[in-house]
Each structure stands twice: as structure tokens, then as C-alpha cells.
Amino acid sequence: MGDGTVGGGVVGRLRINGEGVINGDTDCHLLRCNGSAIVNGSLLGRLARVNGHLKVSDHVEMERIRINGSLDAGRNARISHIGMNGDLSTGMDLFFVKGVVNGTVTVQGNVEAEQMTVRGTLSVNGHVQARELNLTLIKQISSVPEIRSRMITVAPTKLAKLFHSSRRGHLNAERIVGEEIRLENTRASVVRGSRVHIGKGCTIDRVEYTETFSADAKAVVKDFYKIDSI
């Protein structure tokens, strides 16, 4: 309660109300934090619930994390299920099965996931590989060099589209590859998929498709080709 510093280790439950610093690798069954926590080492465990800020200098490996605030991992983050309202950042790679983030995701390495939903901003230096990716753009520019996913949906919020709001964001990408691809407000060099729809606000250099292709009248597609396989 308040401000404190403790050593790491293996613990059952760890609760911080205030500002806590943990020196060393920490393996805990349950972490609860109302305030801010700094882990100088790796954080391992089953469940973390944070209202505030969690900063880990090394790796994060958790089964479930629920955060209202921010999570900053210095190296890799491997989380089975994550739900966030706020900011998620990693110094290396991000792995998860299912993730829902309302806010910003900033990854210096690659992202691998089964289901990934981001409502806000996605910034990745490497690639994104997922089974299903849903990106709802809000105001800022999202940037991912390469996206590979079976299903890919990128669009601004419904309110932004309805009122032609300046809060519309954009996605910049070099290559987008998938089976079912629906894009809005996206700039990309190559889009390759089975069923591809290019919506409003898009500028695409080349579309390659195997089954169907359609484009909104207000989209810019410089070239499109039907190919045998993706």
C-alpha cells in the first residue's frame, strides 16, 4: 500500500495499491495492481489485472491479462488472452491467441496471433501474422510493413464514416496477403488474396486475386490481376 520495493521470486498472489517496484524475475499466480508497477526482470504467471501502468524490463509470459492503462514489455510478450483499454508496447515480439485492444499497439518486432482486434492505432516494425485481423482506425496513422491473415478487415469507425470525421485514421502497408480481404483508408503497394474488396479512402499500387475483386468508385487501384494462387 503506497510506495514500496520488493524482491522477485515465486509468489501466489501479489497486490499493489500505489507504486511498486519488483527487483528480479517474478512468477505469480495472480497480480493485481491499482496504480503503477515496475518489474526489473521477467513477469510470468496466470492472471494479471491492472488499473494503471505495468512496465516489465524483460519478457512477459501470462495466460490472461486485463489492463485499463498501459503495458510496456522490454522484450517479448507472450499472452494467451489479453483485453486492454490503453497502450500496449513491446521491445521485441508479441504473441497471443486472442487479443482485444482499445488504444494503441506498438511492437518493435513481429506479431503472431489467432484473433487480433485493435480499435485505435497499430504500429509494427516487423510483420503481422494472424488467422483473423480486425483493425478499426481512429485518427492516427497505423503502419505495418507486411500483414498475412486468413481474414483481414480494415476500416474507420462507423461514426467517422457517417459524419466524414477528421478522426479517420489510415493504414500504411507494403504487402497485405490473405483469403478474405476488405480494406478502407489503406495505402499499400501489393494486396494479394482470394476475395478482395478495396473500399473508400484506399490507394493500392497492385491487387492480385484468385476468385473475386471489387473496388469502390472512390478508391484508387493502379493495377489488378487475376492469378492462379496466393
Give yes or no: residues 21 and 69 share one domain.
yes
Number of domains into which the chain is organized: 2
Work out whether the CA dihedral 143, 40, 83, 127 comes out positive or negative. positive
Give yes or no: residues 44 and 74 share one domain.
yes
Q: Please give the residue range of the domain that contains residue 113.
A: 109-229
Give yes or no: residues 177 and 113 share one domain.
yes
pLDDT in tens, 50-102: 999 999 999 999 999 999 999 999 999 999 999 999 999 999 999 999 999 99
Query: Tell me, what's the pLDDT at 162?
Result: 56
Q: In the predicted model, what is the mean pLDDT of residues 115-125?
A: 96
Adjacent-strand bridge partners of 64: 47, 81
Whether residue 167 has pLDDT greater than 90: no
Closest CA to 156 of 148, 147, 165: 165
Instruction: Give the C-alpha separation, 144 to 125, whole Å.
Output: 6
Give yes or no: residues 49 and 114 share one domain.
no
Give yes or no: residues 140 and 220 share one domain.
yes
Asked if the structure places residue 19 within a domain, the reply is: yes
88, 120, 135: which is the final residue of a domain? 88
Query: Tell me, what's the pLDDT at 3?
Result: 81
Give yes or no: residues 120 and 219 share one domain.
yes
Give yes or no: residues 62 and 165 share one domain.
no
